[in-house]
Structure 1
Amino acid sequence: MDKLQKGIEEMQNHNYEEAAKWFTEAIDENPNEPVGYINFGNLLLHMNDFERAQRFFNRAIELDEEAATAYYGLGNVYYEQEKYTKAQEQFILAVHHGLDEADVHFMLGMTYVHQEYPKLALPYLLRAAELAEDDVDIQFQYGLCLAQNGQIDEAEKTMNHVLQLEEEHSDAHYNLGVVALHKEDAHKALEHFDRALEINSEHMLASHAKAQVEQALNE
């Protein structure tokens, strides 16, 4: 097993010091290979050492301007610091340089979500959802974005898919309750709000919505 692989394994096992040792050796042996810098950048990102992570990703890009995963890593550095416009630029570069994985499309979509541009987020979240049909977080955010774009039927279908993946998803139930209200089915909405509260008794949105619906039904 090569040193980079050993470093990645140690990183996955949260042995960050050991991982750093392997990555350092890999870089020392191949100082002109971007992969070592990218892996070290990912490690530093895990440790929230954003400044150094940025330096390593930039070094990888200096060595290879086509290194798509370096742009992706840099995008994550900015994203974690809530610098969404800068993150967006890097994720776009990652896609431009050939990275076509669910994660990069998802992160790109989320940069638009955080800037309250749901229309711009939608195509990226759709692509992520297509590439990762079984990823609960991606499917949920895609469903949410559909709803924000007024695509209620599609949002309902996606939230039901989320529940197939994870039955105890209180937020999916809450959102299906909201969809039911859109369709003027108060009783179905109540069922979903109740289910959301069964799963998470502190779900404030579901609690508030339930109280409002019950009040409306009693009037």
Structure 2
Amino acid sequence: MDKLKKGIEEMQNHNYEQAARLFTEAIDENPKEPVGYINFGNLLTHMNDYERAERFFNRAIELDEEAATAYYGLGNVYYEQEKYTKAQEQFIHAIQNGLDEADVHFMLGMTFIHQEYVKLALPYLLRAAELAPEDVDIQFQYGLCLAQNGQIDQAQQVMERVLQLENKHSDAYYNLGVVSLHKENPHEALKHFEKALEIQPDHMLAAHAKGQVEQALNE
């Protein structure tokens, strides 16, 4: 097994020192090969060493301006530091250079969400949802974004899909409750809020919504 593969394995097993040693050796042996720098950048990002991670990703890009995963890694570095505009630029570069995977579309969508550009987020979260139909987080964020864009029926369908994937997803139940209120069905909403609280008793939003619906029904 080559050093990069072994290093990735060590990183996945949280043996960061071993991974760092293997990546360093790989870079020393092939200093003009960007992949070593990209892997080391990913490792440093895992370790929250963003300053050094940024340097490694930039070095990879110097060696290969079309290294899509280097742009993606750099985007993650900025995203973790809440520099969403800078992250966005890098994720777009990654996609332009041929990275068409769920994660990069999802992360790009989330940079827009954090900046409250929900309309701009929607096509990227849709693409991520298409590429990763079994990913609960991606499906949930896509459903949420649909709701924020006023596409209530589609949001309902996606939240129901989330519950098929994970039947104890309290936030999906809460959001189905909100959808039911939009459709002026308070009894249905109450059931969803109760279900959310059954799964997560400290769900503040569900508890508040449940109280308001019960009060309205009793009046």
Does residue 32 of structure 2 align to residue 45 of structure 1? no
Specify the SS of the correspondent of 2:157.
Answer: helix
Map 1:57-72; keep pairs closer than 5 Å. 57-72=57-72
Identity %: 83
> How many corresponding residue pairs?
219
Map 1:1-219; keep pairs closer than 5 Å. 1-219=1-219
Specify the SS of the correspondent of 1:167.
Answer: coil
Specify the SS of the correspondent of 1:61.
Answer: helix
Amino acid at match of 1:208: H
**Per-residue deviation, residues 89-139 of structure 1 (Å, max 9, x unmatched):** 000000000000000000000000000000000000000000000000000
Amino acid at match of 2:82: E
How far the C-alpha of 1:19 sits from its partner, in A, is: 0.2
How far the C-alpha of 1:76 sits from its partner, in A, is: 0.2
Gaps of 5+ in 1: none
How far the C-alpha of 1:195 sits from its partner, in A, is: 0.3
User: Counterparts of 2:191 and 2:212 in 1: how far apart (Å)?
Assistant: 14
**Per-residue deviation, residues 177-209 of structure 1 (Å, max 9, x unmatched):** 000000011011000000000000000000000
User: Counterparts of 1:5 and 1:105 in 2: how far apart (Å)?
Assistant: 25
Amino acid at match of 1:20: A
User: Counterparts of 1:129 and 1:6 in 2: how far apart (Å)?
Assistant: 31
TM-score scaled to structure 1, two decimals?
Answer: 1.00
User: Counterparts of 2:49 and 2:207 in 1: how far apart (Å)?
Assistant: 39
Amino acid at match of 2:8: I
User: Counterparts of 1:71 and 1:215 in 2: how far apart (Å)?
Assistant: 52
User: Counterparts of 1:118 and 1:175 in 2: how far apart (Å)?
Assistant: 17
TM-score scaled to structure 2, two decimals?
Answer: 1.00
Q: What RMSD in Å do the two structures reach over aligned CA positions?
A: 0.2
Gaps of 5+ in 2: none
How far the C-alpha of 1:214 sits from its partner, in A, is: 0.2
How far the C-alpha of 1:165 sits from its partner, in A, is: 0.3
**Per-residue deviation, residues 41-100 of structure 1 (Å, max 9, x unmatched):** 000000000000000000000000000000000000000000000000000000000000
User: Counterparts of 2:172 and 2:206 in 1: how far apart (Å)?
Assistant: 11
